[in-house]
């Protein structure tokens, strides 16, 4: 009879084998873990190196993309890529600049397709002066309105060159082709509230653009022209003394727009002092009338009332009404022409001052502040329709509670006098507004029908 198997030896052997398998498995797992860890470290290092190598180009790409977008936006707002020059172009410029009356002025009007620029150009041409306009037709408001003004000027023999005041070669070319006796500088980025959305456009146009113009006039023009330019009543800012006088402080602007106009007055002083440029600044007070700016309250209110949209009226913290010294466009034009007619010659040549030169600043206002609500009431009567009013407290957006002009200096020196009351001026504006947009609607309808 066979003896039974030695189970104790078998069990020991099995335990030994199991132990060896566990040991080997642990070694394999440990080795695998070490290998995986090392692979992870290497991968991480590789990724860090890759990121380090490629991050700067990516950053630069992002920077350049943002810069390109900014340039594109700036270009659409403030510049023109159109070419200029050539014999035909020069003949056209000279023809437009030739006065038709003895001793007539030869005036370069910047911002000629703008509201005030159009009216001043027409008035100058009508009395026999030579006029050449310059405008970049930016998209701050509907460019089609500016093109319509350009067409109006063209019908009266005024050429408006499509170009920007920051285009120094263009300015040099214009002042080389025509020895302008005067420059009426009205080109600017307008509007108080828009500065909160696009501040750079104000610096580019109102500061850099003014410097560009004065540089060319001082150093390249022969003879140097006399400069009349548009400042603004906004420079009075937080001034509380009324009516606003040219002798009042203007060092507390309430908006970036106002600050750029105040900077412009300081810049004008510098170029007058160093280069002998004759410079006159005009502080406009809420100009309104036909062919006006759509961003102005009277213009947008007219549109909203006709379309039945609500309008926003501001009041002060204490409940008092916001008031404006509304000044009709024809009165402002008289002031601009008066400034041109009384401007003395510049005293510099080739960038060198030969003697003291004239430096002036004047208010051009109506001297009769009117509550904005009263202006709305006049529009309601003229349009035969009630406005849907939304009254709110004036926010901190750069608007000031009131404007009121003291024009005694302009009366004395320029023969300036405002003669148009608000009701009369708004009646003329509404008549133009209805006629212009009725014609525009008919043309658009005809265009759709023929398409």
Measured CA to CA in angstroms, residue 402 lies from 84, 87, 391, 399 at distances of: 44, 51, 17, 9
For residue 92, CA distances in Å to 132, 135, 153 come to 10, 16, 14
H or E element: which one contains 432?
A: helix 422-450
Q: Determine the Cα–Cα distance for residues 84 and 62; give it in Å rounded to an integer.
A: 34
| Helix ranges, 163-296 (H) | 168-177, 199-202, 209-219, 256-275
Residue 249: Cβ-neighbour burial (10 angstroms; 0-12, 13-18, 19+): exposed
Of 220, 142, 215, 153, whose CA–CA distance to 185 is shortest?
215
Q: Encode 59-97: b = buried (16+ Cβ within 10 Å), e = exposed.
A: eeeeeeeeeeeeeeebeebbbbeeebeeeeebeebeebb
Q: Which helix (H) or strand (E) holds 182?
A: strand 182-185
Q: What are phi and psi of 351, to 5 degrees?
A: 80, 10
Cα separation of 276 and 263, whole Å? 19
CA distance 19 to 94: 107
Distances (CA, A) of 220 to 54, 106, 121, 180, 213: 48, 17, 24, 12, 10
Taking the C-alpha atoms of residue 275 and residue 357, their distance in angstroms, rounded to an integer, is 9
Is-contact 78 164, C-beta < 8 A?
A: yes
How, if at all, do strands 323-324 and 310-315 pair? unpaired
Give me the active site residues, please: 257
């Amino acid at each position: 009879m066979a003896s039974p198997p030695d189970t104790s030896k078998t069990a020991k052997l099995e335990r030994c084998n199991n132990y060896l398998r566990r040991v080997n498995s642990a070694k394999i797992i440990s080795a695998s873990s070490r290998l995986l860890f090392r692979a992870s470290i290497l991968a991480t290092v590789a990724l860090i190196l890759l990121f380090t190598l490629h991050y700067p180009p990516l950053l630069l790409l992002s920077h350049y993309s943002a810069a390109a977008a900014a340039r594109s936006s700036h270009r659409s707002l403030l510049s023109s890529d159109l070419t200029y020059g050539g014999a035909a172009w020069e003949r056209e410029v000279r023809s437009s600049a030739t006065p038709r009356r003895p001793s007539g002025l030869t005036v370069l009007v910047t911002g000629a397709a703008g509201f005030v620029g159009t009216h001043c150009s027409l008035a100058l041409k009508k009395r026999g002066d030579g006029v050449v306009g310059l405008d970049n037709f930016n998209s701050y408001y509907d460019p089609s309105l500016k093109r319509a003004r350009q067409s109006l000027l063209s019908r009266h023999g005024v050429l408006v060159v499509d170009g920007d005041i920051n285009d120094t070669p263009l300015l040099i070319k214009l002042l080389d082709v025509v020895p302008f006796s005067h420059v009426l500088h009205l080109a600017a980025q307008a509007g108080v509230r828009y500065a909160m959305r696009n501040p750079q456009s104000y610096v580019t146009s109102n500061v850099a653009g003014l410097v560009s113009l004065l540089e060319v006039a001082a150093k390249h023009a022969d003879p140097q022209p006399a400069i009349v330019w548009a400042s603004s009543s906004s420079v009075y800012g937080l001034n509380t003394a009324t009516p606003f006088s040219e002798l009042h402080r203007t060092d507390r602007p309430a908006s970036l727009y106002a600050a750029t106009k105040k900077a412009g007055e300081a810049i004008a002083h510098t170029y007058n002092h160093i280069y002998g440029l004759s410079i006159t600044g005009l502080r406009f007070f809420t100009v309104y009338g036909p062919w006006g700016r759509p961003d102005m309250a009277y213009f947008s209110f007219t549109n909203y009332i006709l379309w039945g949209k609500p309008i926003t009226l501001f009041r002060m913290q204490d409940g008092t009404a916001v008031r404006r010294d509304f000044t009709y466009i024809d009165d402002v034009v008289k002031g601009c022409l008066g400034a041109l007619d009384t401007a003395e010659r510049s005293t510099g040549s080739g960038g060198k001052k030969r003697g003291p030169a004239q430096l002036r600043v004047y208010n051009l206002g109506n001297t009769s502040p009117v509550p904005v609500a009263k202006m709305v009431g006049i529009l309601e009567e003229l349009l035969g329709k009630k406005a849907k009013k939304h009254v709110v407290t004036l926010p901190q957006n750069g608007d000031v509670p009131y404007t009121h002009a003291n024009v005694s200096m302009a009366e004395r020196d320029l023969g300036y006098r405002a003669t148009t009351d608000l009701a009369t001026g708004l009646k003329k504006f509404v008549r133009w507004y209805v006629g212009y947009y009725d014609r525009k609607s008919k043309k658009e309808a005809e265009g759709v029908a023929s398409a």
